[in-house]
A and B are shown apart, each in its own frame.
Chain A
Amino acid sequence: MFEMGDFILEARSLSKEFGGFAAVRDVDLAIRRGSIHALIGPNGAGKTTVFNLLTKFLSPTRGSIVFEGRDITSLKPADVANLGIIRSFQISAVFPHLTALENVRVALQRKLGISYHFWRSPRVLEGLHGEAMEKLASVGLANFADSPAVLLSYGRKRALEIATTLALDPTLMLLDEPTQGMGAEDVGRVTDLIKEVSAGRTILMVEHNLGVVSRLADAITVLNRGRVLAEGPYEAVSRNPEVMEAYMGTSAEDADG
């Protein structure tokens, strides 16, 4: 069951200490290729720290990270992104004063390999407009191509963020609380969107909304106080008494968040 190639990403005894405080302790994480894997846990459990470690925004104190059989523990964030691991952020990560089209185009232009060319005319980027419009249409933003991202509603910003991430055609998408702060209608829409874009990809997501998790996730890892508390499919994990005590006890307030 644990043969190589089965898992796209494996973290082994991942630990991060901040001046003596262990935010993440000996976390083992294995993400199956093609699955949607959810990382849940109460506030302060270390979920975002794990994200930052996996994408190298933080360096682990101990432990190793292997992506597609390759040790990426010592790589830089941009290198990790270039390997196809693209993350989103807890607060919506758009470029506020660029238009929706430009947001997506910034991601698309990377593959042209001309991003350092400060002498080139912006016309070379116009060839990307068709593809950018396609990505925007796929998240329902075709009519907002020329709106500055800052003017979009919260739900649309998250959709734009997903469109931008998709533009890089990531092998592994890391979504940090994609439905946080959304109204019920937007939550439904973004959940559908994630389901839709998950085809042929692997997704690791941090999510508080257990409804979303139960709908989307193939596997769940529960973190508590920086440690893995439980792992497995939703049904098994949600019946785990330890999880119920540590996590479900606070789920009422978290579900609102």
Chain B
Amino acid sequence: MAASERIVGESRAHRSGVNLVLWAILILFVLTAPAYIYPVFAMQLLCFALFACAFNLLLGFTGLLSFGHAAFFGAAAYVTGHVIKIWGLPPVAGIFVGTAVAAALGYVIGSLAIRRQGIYFAMITLALAQIIYFLGLQLPFTGGENGLQGIPRGHLFGIFDLDRPLVMYYFVAAIFMIGFLIIYRTIHSPFGQVLKSIRENEARALSLGYNVTRFKLIAFIISAALSGLAGATKSVVFQFASLTDLHWQTSGEVILMTLLGGLGTIFGPVVGAITIVSLQHELSSLGSWVNVVIGLIFIVCVLAFRRGIVGELARLLKTSSM
């Protein structure tokens, strides 16, 4: 008994040591990124990193594969753009409204989809997300094919001018860190423990008396809301919301980011998002060939390192939670 407790102690210390290093790298990166990365690009990285982390909460920690997460990302982008541009709301309020709408949409889509499991769940989320896509195309306020253009960034709390790149960057960085911390806490909370047990063995979680459907729905809403937060922030950064934000390809990309970075790891989706968005950026001169390159990377990833970048790293460092 004493021996086992010592082993427990050592591995926990090791784990928290590795985690501390990763936290330090993440915070350092978020704080210093504009020094060596073009600020708008750095903001794009953070928005997609948050999106991927929110997605990972569902796939990596609850075991639900949603194929329609672009609906939340895009809907929030449009709503935030609209309330800032037309209603004249300040940026924080605009982003809040977009996030709230994504959460409400998450409640509706989630309630319908979690009645089914596995591939049927994925198909229902895809189908409902396609409905949102066509609403984005057809509704009068969305600007159709052109999207919603010219969203003003405005002033943060009426004081800080968000048109200044560095001010905008640190605003986005703060949003990213808040979102990331919410996800981190959710994963490690008592609620997160139940989510993991549902992922591991749903029937058993049910037989222990947990209302599995309700846990899944709450996880879905949190994930949808934070995906919305990412989309809303993105629309303020780029000052437009477009059909790309709602497109199923965006739903696919976020899956790719999560798998490449490391499914069910804390930091994996951040690494995956940075990798994919950087590749798209660096290889943009190749045109459509970007997709071929990313497809090849995905194949290599699935064949050679299934746990994803951070997942493999965690295995090498012999720690279970990164």
Contacts and interface: CB of A to CB of B under 8 A. Distances in A.
B186 interface: yes
A95 B204 contact: yes
B188 A122 contact: yes
Given A78-B206, A110-B210, A148-B320, A115 B190 contact: yes
Interface in B194-227: 194, 196-197, 200-201, 203-212, 214-215, 218, 222
Q: In which size bucket is the chain A interface? A: 35 or more
Interface string A111-129: 0101111111110110000
30 contacts: A55-B207, A57-B207, A77-B206, A77-B207, A82-B209, A86-B207, A89-B207, A94-B204, A96-B201, A97-B196, A97-B320, A98-B196, A98-B197, A102-B193, A105-B193, A106-B208, A114-B190, A115-B194, A115-B210, A116-B215, A116-B218, A118-B185, A118-B186, A119-B189, A120-B189, A120-B190, A125-B193, A145-B4, A146-B8, A146-B11
Contacts of B320: 97, 148
Contacts of A152: none
A114 B320 CA distance: 25
A81 B211 CA distance: 10
Contacts of B210: 78, 110, 115
B204 A143 contact: no
A95 B189 contact: no
Nearest to A95: B200
Contacts of B29: none
Interface residues of B, number: 35
Nearest to A77: B206
B154 interface: no
A246 interface: no
B191 interface: yes
Nearest to B206: A77
A105 B1 CA distance: 18
Given A78-B212, A121-B185, A143 B194 contact: no
Contacts of A142: 1, 4
Contacts of A82: 209
A188 to B, nearest CB: 24
A137 B4 CA distance: 12
A81 B8 contact: no
Interface string A211-238: 0000000000000000000000000000
Interface string B287-317: 0000000000000000000000000000000
A149 to B, nearest CB: 8
Going nearest first, the 7 A-B pairs with the smallest beta carbon separation are: A81-B209, A95-B200, A118-B191, A93-B204, A146-B8, A118-B186, A122-B188
